[in-house]
Chain A
């Protein structure tokens, strides 16, 4: 049951993803249920038919990603949800969506891996898989919520960004945020910004499916609307026909990057908490950012000028924001439930201007406030 907007209620993170998807206009879900994302499939199966949408449980994750791509080509906003093992299987078709510029959202509620690992334990081990899981030099957008309300907001944003830039967008959750329930107030539908993909403004005969507008994004016709065109994972020209022309190949890949990297102001977002006068900072995302926020408060209470930089957009990596931070603080503590996947990015962006210290936990348990606080207390004298 959805319940009224504007009223406080107890909601699970996965449930908020479903509410966000529906509010953003998602009308197709294909998936293969997997812990800890299963509630998303269950609720989509319940809710989509009530709004004229379609739910399909496919035979596996590869097929479900293919179905999502097909539905999107036919004009529907489409989403799938999975966890690590399923995310691995979806990668080939995620690459296809990147290459053929098919909007879609993949929710990955991260659990302990590799392989089937611990299905019910949280981890953040798929950070690099979200970036580079499919082969080739593809751009990608990944967003990382750390609360139930943000699971709603970022699902809406993921759908909007996918439609606007015609890219696969990954909502990179973790088991803690997916399964936890907390008090949330959702916005009324009229306050939710919803983006629709650009449609052709020319008749079918004049339509070049891969000729971009000035923003680098080509208008997209629905299959079935009379605009017949070829969709392929091969390098293709503006007509969509395969080619091996080196100039076309290079221009295509560069444009796929430009359409994202020319719009970083629109795509990137970070949360800055108590950073104005901070001398030490934590970089954390997802559920770990909640421990970091608490640690910052406790550090402040103990007289340490601490702050938090939380990447909300994790890919593209907000490197300018981290570089700016490095000029102002002496120590950057990176806390994550993996062995240092984002720390490498942070170190690159910091570029030696501040000390970087990692807190990495792979026990399947959330990093504690005390662990982060202890790291904040060890400020180097000269960084």
Chain B
């Protein structure tokens, strides 16, 4: 990795986006990188717009907020409308097609997966869609290593949910790898 990665993870409250952001930043710190994670959300515990931002850098990170990110994850239609267009040129937009039906024009590359549906079908729990999404993000960017993100995930998810979360993360990594194969074929 060179330079700095800026991520914006967006969707609805309750989708676990802040936790996904925390795990991503934690993974970077485990690898000896600098990382800052910040968030914005409404007062509700569920529903409402939710957004987590992560900056990963080998340099000191002064400004803790993300401007125009390299990578955007959108897990709701509202988030797609609001945040998908605001990505760097040649950046990545990862879309949860379970909830995002219309994607506005974006300057970056788009990767679309039915993230929430896959979590529900394969892991039996939509709750782990955040871990699945995280696997995709890590797999597509290589911003942190799969090993570091696994360690961070196991340290941060609620006790008793480790196995399901890890499965979801690994599925995400596989989906990203398959996508990369397709791109290079």
Are A181 and B25 closer than 8 Å at their CB atoms? Answer: yes
Is B160's beta carbon under 8 Å from chain A?
no
- Chain A residues lying within 8 Å of B65, measured Cβ to Cβ, are 176, 366, 368
Q: Which of B3-11, B36-44, B102-110 contacts A (4 or more CB under 8 A)?
A: B36-44
- Chain A residues lying within 8 Å of B33, measured Cβ to Cβ, are 183
- Chain B residues lying within 8 Å of A179, measured Cβ to Cβ, are 38-39
Q: Which of A222-230, A287-295, A324-332 contacts B (4 or more CB under 8 A)?
A: A287-295
Is B61's beta carbon under 8 Å from chain A?
yes
What's the nearest-Cβ distance from chain B to residue A173, in Å?
A: 13
- Chain B residues lying within 8 Å of A35, measured Cβ to Cβ, are 43
Query: A176–B61 Cα gap in the complex (Å)?
Result: 14
Residue of A nearest to B25 (CB): A10
- B63: contacting residue among A10, A183, A294, CB under 8 A: A294
Are A182 and B62 closer than 8 Å at their CB atoms? Answer: no
What's the nearest-Cβ distance from chain B to residue A287, in Å?
A: 7
Residues of B in contact, count (CB < 8 Å): 23
Majority DSSP secondary structure for residues of B touching A:
mixed
- B6-41 CB contact bits vs A (8 Å, 1 = yes)? 000000000000000010011011001111111111
What's the nearest-Cβ distance from chain A to residue B47, in Å?
A: 14
Are B22 and A181 closer than 8 Å at their CB atoms? Answer: yes
Are B64 and A180 closer than 8 Å at their CB atoms? Answer: yes
- B117-136 CB contact bits vs A (8 Å, 1 = yes)? 00000000000000000000
Query: A297–B62 Cα gap in the complex (Å)?
Result: 10
Most buried by A among B33, B35, B36, B38: B38
Total contacts A-B at CB 8 Å: 63
Are B43 and A180 closer than 8 Å at their CB atoms? Answer: no
Known: A119-B43, A120-B43. A294 touches B62 (CB 8 A): yes
Are B25 and A290 closer than 8 Å at their CB atoms? Answer: no
Is A9's beta carbon under 8 Å from chain B?
yes
- Chain A residues lying within 8 Å of B43, measured Cβ to Cβ, are 35, 119-120
**Residues A170-185 near B (CB distance < 8 A):** 176, 179-183
Are B63 and A290 closer than 8 Å at their CB atoms? Answer: yes
Is A248's beta carbon under 8 Å from chain B?
no
Query: A121–B38 Cα gap in the complex (Å)?
Result: 12
A selection of 9 A-B contacts at a CB cut-off of 8 Å is A10-B26, A120-B40, A182-B37, A183-B28, A183-B33, A183-B36, A287-B64, A290-B63, A366-B65
Interface residues in chain B, defined as those with a beta carbon under 8 Å from any beta carbon in chain A: 22, 25-26, 28-29, 32-43, 61-65, 67
Interface residues in chain A, defined as those with a beta carbon under 8 Å from any beta carbon in chain B: 8-10, 35, 119-121, 176, 179-183, 287, 290-291, 293-294, 297, 366, 368-369
Given A176-B38, A180-B64, A291-B63; 14 other pairs, CB 8 A cutoff: A9-B26, A10-B22, A10-B25, A35-B43, A120-B40, A181-B36, A181-B37, A183-B28, A183-B34, A183-B35, A291-B62, A293-B62, A294-B62, A369-B63
In the complex, the 3 A-B pairs of residues with the closest C-beta atoms, listed nearest first: A294-B62, A181-B37, A10-B26
